[in-house]
């Protein structure tokens, strides 16, 4: 799969590494070049004859590049006359010029570096190296000490730690590069906009936020963060070729078939079906002008929407046929009185929250959960159609839809957790499948997974 990095087109990227990563560097160079990025790598593009020696050539190219990626493995590499490695010299050359730097550390090396830090951080550097040699690490002790030193980097007396991320293979490395550089790009836009605002204050506040400033997804992104990111990727509020709400409803029903299908309950198929369902649900909310997380909190403000208690006083996992009527206005007022630290929620933490309110949810079978989710999904689609047809009383139609948003989101995350549990139990391995939040974040953090663009360019084919 090719990861598109259009925001980096025309940029020069310096790859710093030892010969340990010769094949990986070739692969990264090809991928970067195929996306319009100009890679700079010693074995491929640096002309050592253009300078007095190879070390000087590498240092000069690292300082001249737009970005630097330093791939750290078990080997220390050639040593510079100053005593540090050539790669670290390249890193500091770029750093002194203010260039963005990203350090990618092999999984096993990062694990040993943490052990090295935890066991001997109280010792002097010399004593740490002596102790580490007895531990028989597979990583050169000089590399571990180098990572330790970088973690304590300061500038003008303040912490200046570079981005240090672990990676497993070339795909992980590309995703980290894309993700971090999108953050840099966003920060650059924010700084530029801030400077313009300071020089030319706006007479009126901006009505529409600049989507270029939307923060990319992180591992612990909330439901609202995911919804805003999907709006950015698919431009659902731009008004340009946005499908009607009924089209979203039909797409949700189609995605729901895959999401609840027995055939999709596998390690390979379920994450795709889950991500697609959550995507359409959240994008539908965006077009309708609702935030799914906010509506869920409004209906279940740390208590049952019907009896007002946590846990629910009724014996069943959901309000039965005989229960107090739902007081939407009362629940909304209660939600507004919640402390500020209540939320935000990820997909996983909201599933836990809703099952704290209705603890019997955990004992429901997948068949029972599917029945409830099907019922709520049908009511949600019906509310969408009513809102689309509404010429008068549109506010009441939107209020009815907000209630169904809370139900569908809550039951979908509970069902997803139940399926995830069944898959991991069958495999006998709790770590065989990522958390529900991580599944969705991994799917969309690099933009549209279908056209592989940071901003979807085939809206008619990819979106719905």
How does pLDDT run across 207-235, given as a tens digit for each residue? 233 444 566 788 889 999 999 999 888 88
Asked if the model's pLDDT at residue 280 lies above 80, the reply is yes
Q: What's the whole-number mean pLDDT along residues 226-255? A: 81
3-state class (DSSP) for residue 70: strand
How does pLDDT run across 373-387, given as a tens digit for each residue? 999 999 999 999 888
Question: In the prediction, which pLDDT does 410 show?
Answer: 95
Question: In the prediction, which pLDDT does 29 show?
Answer: 86
Least confident of 316-330, 334-348, 433-447: 316-330
Question: In the prediction, which pLDDT does 417 show?
Answer: 95
pLDDT band at residue 372, thresholds of 50, 70 and 90? Answer: very high
Asked if the model's pLDDT at residue 291 lies above 60, the reply is yes
Q: What's the whole-number mean pLDDT along residues 123-135? A: 76
In whole numbers, what is the pLDDT of the chain averaged over residues? 81
Q: Quickly count: other Cβ atoms within 10 Å of residue 98's Cβ.
A: 7
Dist CA 318 CA 357 (whole Å): 10
**Beta pairing class for 101-106 and 163-167:** parallel
- Residue 94 to residues 29, 59, 99: CA-CA distances in angstroms? 19, 8, 5
How does pLDDT run across 253-266, given as a tens digit for each residue? 999 999 999 888 88
Domain spans in the chain, listed from the N-terminal domain onward: 6-182, 219-463
Dist CA 437 CA 413 (whole Å): 9
3-state class (DSSP) for residue 433: coil
Cα 223 off chain centre by: 11
In percent, how much of the chain has pLDDT > 90? 26
3-state class (DSSP) for residue 10: coil
Burial string for 335-362 (b: 16+ CB within 10 Å, else e) reads beeeeeeebbbbbbbbbebbbebbeebe
Place of tokens 């990563």: 21
Question: In the prediction, which pLDDT does 223 show?
Answer: 95
How does pLDDT run across 98-116, given as a tens digit for each residue? 888 889 999 889 888 888 8
Question: In the prediction, which pLDDT does 78 show?
Answer: 86
Asked if the model's pLDDT at residue 39 lies above 90, the reply is no
Question: In the prediction, which pLDDT does 8 show?
Answer: 63
Structural tokens at position 452: 């592989």
Dist CA 165 CA 181 (whole Å): 13
pLDDT band at residue 117, thresholds of 50, 70 and 90? Answer: confident
Number of DSSP helices (H) and strands (E) in the chain, helices first: 16, 7
Q: What's the whole-number mean pLDDT along residues 69-89? A: 88
pLDDT band at residue 277, thresholds of 50, 70 and 90? Answer: very high
More confidently predicted of 109 and 238? 109
Q: What's the whole-number mean pLDDT along residues 428-455? A: 84
Asked if the model's pLDDT at residue 320 lies above 80, the reply is no
Dist CA 56 CA 402 (whole Å): 63
Q: Quickly count: other Cβ atoms within 10 Å of residue 185's Cβ.
A: 16
Cα 321 off chain centre by: 40
The reply to whether CATH 3.40.50.2300 applies to domain 6-182 is: yes
Question: In the prediction, which pLDDT does 276 show?
Answer: 94
How does pLDDT run across 145-181, given as a tens digit for each residue? 888 888 888 766 677 777 788 888 887 787 777 777 6
Dist CA 380 CA 184 (whole Å): 39
pLDDT band at residue 341, thresholds of 50, 70 and 90? Answer: confident
Q: Report helix, strand and coil shares of the chain as percent, to nearest 5.
A: 55, 5, 35
Question: In the prediction, which pLDDT does 205 show?
Answer: 31
pLDDT band at residue 46, thresholds of 50, 70 and 90? Answer: low
Asked if the model's pLDDT at residue 301 lies above 80, the reply is yes
Least confident of 74-78, 406-410, 447-451: 447-451
Dist CA 133 CA 54 (whole Å): 31
């Amino acid at each position: 799969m090719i990861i598109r990095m259009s925001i980096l087109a025309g940029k020069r990227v310096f790859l710093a590494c030892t010969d340990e990563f010769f094949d990986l560097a070739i692969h990264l160079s090809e991928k970067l070049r195929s996306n319009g990025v100009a890679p700079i790598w010693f074995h491929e593009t640096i002309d050592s004859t253009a300078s007095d020696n190879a070390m000087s050539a590498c240092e000069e190219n690292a300082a001249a590049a737009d970005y630097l990626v330093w791939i750290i493995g078990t080997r220390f590499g050639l040593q510079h006359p100053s005593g540090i490695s050539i790669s670290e010299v390249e890193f500091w050359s770029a750093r002194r010029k203010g260039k963005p730097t990203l350090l990618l550390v092999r999984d096993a090396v990062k694990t040993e570096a943490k052990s090295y830090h935890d066991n001997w951080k109280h010792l002097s550097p010399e004593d740490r190296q002596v102790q580490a040699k007895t531990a028989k690490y597979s990583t050169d002790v000089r590399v571990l000490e180098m990572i330790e030193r970088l973690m304590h980097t300061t500038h003008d007396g303040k912490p200046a730690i570079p981005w240090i991320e672990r990676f497993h293979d070339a795909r992980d490395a590309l995703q980290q590069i894309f993700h971090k550089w999108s953050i840099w790009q966003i920060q650059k836009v924010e700084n530029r906009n801030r400077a313009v605002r300071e020089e030319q204050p706006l007479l009126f506040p901006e009505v529409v936020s600049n989507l270029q400033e939307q923060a990319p997804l992180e591992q612990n992104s909330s439901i609202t963060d995911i919804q805003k990111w999907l709006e950015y990727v698919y431009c659902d509020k731009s008004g340009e070729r946005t499908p009607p709400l009924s089209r979203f409803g039909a797409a949700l029903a189609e995605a729901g078939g895959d999401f609840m299908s027995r055939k999709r309950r596998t390690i390979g198929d379920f994450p795709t079906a889950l991500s697609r369902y959550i995507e359409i649900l959240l994008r539908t909310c965006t077009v309708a002008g609702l935030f799914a997380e906010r509506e869920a909190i409004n209906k279940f403000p740390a208590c049952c929407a019907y009896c007002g208690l946590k846990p629910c006083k009724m014996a069943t996992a959901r309000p039965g046929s005989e229960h107090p009527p739902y007081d939407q206005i009362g629940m909304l007022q209660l939600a507004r009185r919640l402390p500020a630290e209540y939320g935000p929620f990820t997909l996983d933490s909201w599933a836990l929250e809703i099952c704290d309110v209705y603890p019997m949810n955990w004992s429901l079978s997948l068949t029972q959960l599917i029945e409830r989710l099907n019922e709520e999904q049908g009511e949600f689609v019906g509310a969408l159609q009513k809102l689309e047809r509404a010429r008068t009383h549109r506010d009441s139609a939107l209020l009815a839809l907000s209630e169904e948003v809370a139900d569908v989101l809550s039951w979908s995350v509970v069902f997803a957790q139940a399926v995830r549990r069944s898959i991991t139990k069958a495999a006998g391995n709790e770590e065989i499948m990522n958390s529900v939040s991580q599944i969705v974040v991994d799917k969309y953090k690099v933009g549209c997974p279908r056209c592989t663009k940071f901003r979807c360019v085939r809206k008619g084919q990819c979106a719905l």
